[in-house]
Structure 1
Amino acid sequence: MRRIALLLEYDGSAYGGSQVQRNAPSIQAELERAIRQLTGETVRAVFAGRTDAGVHALGQVAAFTTGARHDIATFVRGLNALLPKDIAVRAAVEAPPGFDPRRHARSRRYRYLIWNAPERSPLRRRVMWHVRVPLDEARMAREAAALVGEHDFASFGASPGPGRSTARRMLHAEVRRQGDCIAVEMEANAFLPHQVRRTVGALVEVGCARLPEGTFHRWLDEPRPGTAGPAAPPHGLVLVQVTYDGGGPLPRPVS
């Protein structure tokens, strides 16, 4: 049996999320359907991270076990021929046996895009949050800098489950503007559920001066679940890359 790892890109607009849903289409269900058509096997695809309904990905990683002897190029071409137009396999490798995209990831990087202008942009409506009120990106950047390091992020995300730690290590947090577009980028060893969107929602509050600078320091010093919010809408969020040993977006291939 072989373990195949896939690098996926998708537009999440039409899906209930990455994981299989009972009453909504999902990225996982579409991928497993395509694998079944290509190989004749029923497999379970495991993802590096769960993305919510409407969230997109440039660098999601999924893995599955198969007895099929197709070469890697055939997996890429064949799956892309069978997947819907809003999901694509960008690359693939044969991974070591037992490779787990979630447990073996070293970090995840997300980007959130905000269209900060008085009037909406129809071409950007599926991938950017339209915020009409002027935002001070310098205030937002200073606030985001407080996130870097190892902290208890309970104030910024939902509980990961009973008894599970809310401590995470933030490797990078940046806010930058280009014209009317503001990009918020964060990389961490892992994120709490809804952490990125709740953080962006709070950054917007800081950017329009509804929250004072220094708020994030206080929330990190005195973590209380549910403090940050409301969450930014999902459609502005993209999973940019998952990083593995060696610094790449996929595991090292087997020899």
Structure 2
Amino acid sequence: MTLFYHFDETQPLAGRLAMGIEYDGSRFCGFQRLKHAASVQQAIEDALAKVAGAPVRIHASGRTDSGVHATRQVIHFDPPVQRTEKAWIFGANTNLPRDVAVRWVKPVSDDFHSRLGALGRRYRYIFLNQISRPVLERANVTWCRDPLDADAMHRAAQALVGEHDFSSFRAAGCQSKTPWRQMHFVEVKRYGPLVVIDIQGNAFLHHMIRNIAGALASVGRGVQDEGHIERLLALKNRRKGDVTAPACGLHFVDSIYDERFELPKEPLGPNLLAFTGEWTGERVLPDSPRVAARRRLTFSKQASSHQTSPTQQEASS
């Protein structure tokens, strides 16, 4: 995918569709639809329903917390009607609020599932590390006026790589059945006044990255030594953990899927970091049982979908 291309407005798209979504989470109470507050899911479903002229239910690659942003949230849905690529994108964006946008849409096979098929998810947490408070970036970064040692933060963060019990970094109200997660990589780098935590894993617990960011900031400020993260992991106790960093600095930047789905490739966000030049899908996934199992799951679903009886084939046609 290039930065500029023409949306097709002649060929209606049939079957299941995947979409790339970007949003500023500042005024939303997270991605998931809620009865009592504004959510990104509701905004997208309402916009797609207006394009389709019928209700549309979406499924997302991950749920973000209140105030968290996304530059590549991947969703899928089974549309009740056929529309062209241009109609879905332009129509949805016309009906979406200014803080949510559809970036692309693509037909996918019926075994594609944005959440269950994701091989990895990637986030970036951004600190603006300067004496004066941010103005233009205030909704997209976390301000830290104390000097941060990014190299020390990076060294401390390597304790997180691999498969661990992340109980010390999960929120008290986390609903996950297990605290075990696998981190593919964690990098901390400084770009001028920006200190960026770049983290990718198979999945994340509630508030996990914000709790990691808070603990790494303590290392960067010199309040804790570089063994701080390793000790917290060993404790497996959130009550003995560090502070939770604000939501405004967190960005969901990528969901990784098997290459056979051929989802569009685009620059990793947010645009504050566009100068790094990295595009989605460039990192090699670890050769791990978790990744292999997820790949086998998607392939088995594809195989079973093709092994239908003549009666089933007639019913689906």
The TM-score bracket by the shorter chain reads over 0.9
| Residues 1:93 and 2:106 are matched in the alignment | yes
User: Secondary structure of the equivalent of 2:57?
Assistant: coil
Task: Assess if the C-alpha contact under 8 Å between 1:171 and 1:187 holds in 2.
Answer: yes
In structure 2, distance between residues paired with 1:222 and 1:250:
40
Q: Does 1:139 align with 2:152?
A: yes
Q: Which of the numbers 149, 158, 161 marks the counterpart of 2:162?
A: 149
- What whole-Å deviation, never above 9, does each CA across 1:120-155 have from its counterpart, x for those lacking one? 121111001011111111111111111111111111
Q: Compared with structure 1, are the counterparts of its residues 229 and 180 closer, same or farther at alpha carbon in structure 2 (3 Å cutoff)?
A: same
1:88-113, Cα deviation, whole Å (9 max, x unpaired): 11111112225321111000000011
* Other-structure match for 1:183: 196
> Could you list the per-position Cα deviations for residues 13-62 of structure 1 after superposition, in whole angstroms to 9, with x for gaps in the alignment?
12111111222211111111111110111122111111111111000011
- C-alpha contact 1:5 1:62 (8 A) present in aligned 2: yes
| Aligned equivalent of 1:16, options 29, 38, 41 | 29
TM-score of the pair, normalised by structure 1: 0.92
Q: State the partner residue of 1:119.
A: 132
Whether the 8 Å contact between 1:111 and 1:183 is mirrored in structure 2 is: yes
Give the match for residue 74 of structure 1: 87
Which has the higher mean CA deviation after the structures are superposed, 231-240 or 144-153? 144-153
Of structures 1 and 2, the one scoring higher in RCO (CA 8 A, sep 6+) is 1
State which of 223, 227, 230 in structure 2 corresponds to 1:210: 223
> In angstroms, what is the RMSD of aligned CA positions?
2.1
* Secondary structure, aligned partner of 1:99: coil
User: Partners in 1 of 2:243 and 2:74 — Cα distance?
Assistant: 28
Look up the SS of the partner of 1:36 in the other structure: helix
Q: Which has the higher helix share?
A: 2
Query: Structure 1's 218 and 229: CA in aligned 2 closer, same or farther, altered over 3 A?
Result: closer
Residue among 42, 46, 59 paired with 2:59: 46
Indicate if the aligned counterparts of 2:168 and 2:232 stay in contact, CA closer than 8 A. yes
CA spacing shift, 1:248–1:172, aligned 2, 3 Å: farther
- For structure 2, the residue ranges without an aligned partner over 5 or more in a row are 1-13, 265-301, 303-317
Match of 1:62 among 68, 72, 75: 75
In 2, the alpha carbon distance for the partners of 1:96 and 1:226 equals 44
Q: CA offset at residue 249 of structure 1?
A: 8.3
8 Å Cα contact 1:157/1:228 also seen in 2: no
Distance 2:239 2:15 in 1: 43
Between the aligned partners of 1:132 and 1:22, the Cα distance in structure 2 is 38
How far the C-alpha of 1:245 sits from its partner, in A, is 0.5
Partner of 1:237: 250
Gaps of 5+ in 1: none
Going from structure 1 to structure 2, the CA distance change for 1:125 and 1:247 (only over 3 Å counts) comes to: farther
Q: Specify the structure having the higher radius of gyration (Cα).
A: 2
Tell me: CA distance 1:45–1:149, structure 2 relative to 1, closer, same or farther (3 Å).
same
Q: State the one-letter code of the partner of 1:210.
A: V
Is the CA contact (8 Å cut-off) linking 2:216 and 2:229 kept in structure 1? Answer: no
